[in-house]
Chains A and B, each alone.
Chain A
Amino acid sequence: DGGITQSPKYLFRKEGQNVTLSCEQNLNHDAMYWYRQDPGQGLRLIYYSQIVNDFQKGDIAEGYSVSREKKESFPLTVTSAQKNPTAFYLCASSIDFQGNENTEAFFGQGTRLTVV
């Protein structure tokens, strides 16, 4: 079955440590996204990638980094520079970039990151 997989589901990190969240899709989608979700708020875009080896900052990119070396993979690194990293992180993909008619986004199950 095609889909998008995030791992791990829960992650605990000590302050000052970097941590990498995994996101893999086998839908053959060009576009991939990372969102952060905090309680009572909508999804906020961290980074997005429209094609392999290219990615762009979203609204809240500070303290995060990404790579897109393969079409299927879009890992997110939460660095120690991120002041408030505890949140629910969602990865998504779509066949084309946002705004076009066929840009239904498929989401992973999310990673809940807690800084201890």
Chain B
Amino acid sequence: QQPVQSPQAVILREGEDAVINCSSSKALYSVHWYRQKHGEAPVFLMILLKGGEQKGHEKISASFNEKKQQSSLYLTASQLSYSGTYFCGTVMDSNYQLIWGAGTKLIIKP
């Protein structure tokens, strides 16, 4: 039931774009995105609900494809501060429990 995140890791140059995917084998109610820097607490980015619109602000946005049971996180013109591990959490209709993916490590180089 754990969602699958891809890629597992990505290295970018500052200013490049990145896409991180989160896929589930079960029908989803919502998808949650968080970023965690090494040794720190995860920080909330956004929640996407079934039937909702694409969310985001400026250079970080996300979409939720209900048919494919997949969410994608888009980071545009990446900055050094975007480095960290990105986690998606999925909530299924059946039990409302948040289940986390294994994370995608993003490294931004100057």
Number of interface residues of B (CB under 8 A): 24
Tell me whether A42 and B98 are in contact in the complex, defined as CB-CB below 8 angstroms, given that A104-B44, A107-B41 are known contacts: no
Are B42's CB and A90's CB within 8 A?
yes
- Cβ contacts under 8 Å, B40 to chain A: 109-110
Are A104's CB and B98's CB within 8 A?
no
Are B41's CB and A99's CB within 8 A?
no
A43 to B86, CA, bound (A): 12
- Cβ contacts under 8 Å, A90 to chain B: 41-42
Is A26's CB within 8 Å of the partner chain B?
no
A42 to B97, CA, bound (A): 15
Minimum Cβ distance to chain A for residue B35 (Å): 11
Tell me whether A42 and B29 are in contact in the complex, defined as CB-CB below 8 angstroms, given that A90-B41, A101-B47, A107-B42 are known contacts: no
A43 to B47, CA, bound (A): 17
Is B60's CB within 8 Å of the partner chain A?
no
In A29-46, which residues have CB < 8 Å from any B CB? 35, 40-45
Q: How many A-B residue pairs have CB under 8 A?
A: 55
A1 to B67, CA, bound (A): 41
Is A108's CB within 8 Å of the partner chain B?
yes
Fill in one digit per residue for B56-99: 1 if any A CB lies within 8 Å of its CB, else 0.
00000000000000000000000000000001010100001111
Choice from B96, B97, B100 contacting A43 with Cβ under 8 Å: B100
- Cβ contacts under 8 Å, A105 to chain B: 32, 34, 42, 44, 98
Are A98's CB and B96's CB within 8 A?
yes
Is A103's CB within 8 Å of the partner chain B?
yes
- Cβ contacts under 8 Å, B6 to chain A: none
Residue of B nearest to A6 (CB): B41
- Cβ contacts under 8 Å, A99 to chain B: 29-30, 91, 96-98
Residues of B whose CB lies within 8 Å of any CB of A are 2, 29-30, 32, 34, 39-44, 47, 49, 87, 89, 91, 96-103
